[in-house]
Amino acid sequence: MSNAIVHPKGKNNPRGLKDIPFALPEVTQTEKRRAKRIADALQEHYPDAYCELTHSNPHELLIATILSAQSTDAGVNKATPALFTKFKTPNDYAASTPEKIEPYIKTIGLFRNKAKSIHTSMTMVVEDFAGEVPGNMSDLLKLRGVARKTANVVLGNAFKINDGFVVDTHVQRLAWRFGIFDDPKTNTAIIEKKLMALFPRDLWSRLGHQFVFHGRYGCTARPNCKHDHPMCVKFGVNCDKVLPAKNK
């Protein structure tokens, strides 16, 4: 396959991607046709996939997503009701301290560092963004505890903006199992760019949820995967294949 790059401002840039601030890999028509089949199958099996982090506004979603790093959505959802009741606005977090936030999230991994991230990010929201979570990638990435995955979750769900493709452990695993990448340990930044190039922009957020649902409830991590989901049968997914020797 060609290693050529599609540049954001180049004449060959796909429609709707001219504002993407980095180059995307060139993909073949064969790859795009297979990607469409995957997207259609995900829509068939998971038409109602959604963000499973409980929230009622953008700042709650931002906080829940920060908490979800290396933690489960279910675990986050058990902690956030009390947290969101105690701290109702970004101002409430900014006026508090990490130490006062910690007791509400102590059941979540890395809770001390996450308390610092929540306090710092909410303070920035108050001081730099007039108390409103910014609705663009560049500003979201300025907040502590926010990388592209978190920003994509917030943009796609709170603002209905498709500015990237969420890549978590489920998406990373399925991108390999579906043959989009040969290396199961491909860097998440590379995975995101390839998925952005393969799938239509207006589907990025929806597909992110559907990939996660399939990874969480269908094609799960070894050794729990049952290997018999219709999607996996259709696309010849082999969940038992071993890692390449270079990655062992």
The CA distance from 64 to 69, in Å, is 9
According to DSSP, the residues that pair with 6 across neighbouring strands are 24
Instruction: Tell me which of 106 and 19 has the higher pLDDT.
Output: 106
Q: Is 233 exposed, middle or buried (0-12, 13-18, 19+ CB in 10 A)?
A: exposed
Domain spanning 5-45+165-234: CATH 1.10.1670.10? yes
* Average pLDDT, integer, range 116-125: 98
Give residue limits of the domains in the chain. Answer: 5-45+165-234, 58-158
CA distances from 56 to 64, 66, 80, 204 (A): 11, 16, 11, 22
pLDDT band per the 50, 70, 90 thresholds, residue 240: low
Specify whether the CB–CB gap between 96 and 119 falls below 8 A. Answer: yes
Q: What is the pTM of this model?
A: 0.88
Specify whether the CB–CB gap between 66 and 118 falls below 8 A. Answer: yes
Q: What per-residue confidence (pLDDT) applies to 223? A: 73
- In this model, does residue 176 exceed pLDDT 70? yes
pLDDT band per the 50, 70, 90 thresholds, residue 206: very high
Q: Please name the CATH architecture into which domain 58-158 falls.
A: Orthogonal Bundle (1.10)
Phi, psi angle pair for 164, to nearest 5°: 180, -175
Residue 205, helix vs strand vs coil: helix
Place of tokens 């989901």: 229
Q: What per-residue confidence (pLDDT) applies to 18? A: 81
Report, as residue numbers or ranges, the catalytic residues.
149, 168
Q: Angle 73-86/98-105 helices, nearest 10 degrees? A: 130
242: alpha, beta or left, given left = phi > 0 and alpha = psi -120 to 50? Answer: beta
**pLDDT digit string (tens) for 10-46?**
444 555 678 899 999 999 999 999 999 999 999 999 9
* Average pLDDT, integer, range 119-130: 98
